[in-house]
Structure 1
């Protein structure tokens, strides 16, 4: 009887060790998964920031071009209507 209990105790101890090892492996896997998720989230955020910056730069360039185009149209229109360009010509009869 003592022998059966000793064998049972050893088997129980082995099972406890195996369970502890499995728990540690599971914890390590969970940590690795969490790290991978964080890295992926950071990469996604960086990509979003890059895309937003590219959009902002493109928007600024577009606005600048619109402003230059609008000012060139105003300048060309005003070239013929601006009063400093006109002067009086006296015609003698």
Structure 2
């Protein structure tokens, strides 16, 4: 897993705020490499949840669904979430 140097997406920013408030460990954005060489670019990686290596958070199921078995085999879970609306803030 590598930390992506791009700016976080709206979902990544939303989860950065949530993680900060709740004391959760999060990397946003995040990139993982599968054994096949495929890179999965996730909006965020929520550590300590989901699979042994964390939970990938994405807004596009097409990024993860075709690779779901490989993602699980390397120790990650994933969740496909709606893209938060601009100005829609967590409470």
Bigger share in helix = 1
Higher normalized contact order (CA 8 Å, seq sep 6+, divided by chain length): 2
TM-score, reference length from structure 2: 0.17
Q: From the CA coordinates, give the structure whose radius of gyration is larger.
A: 1
Bigger share in strand = 2
TM-score, reference length from structure 1: 0.16
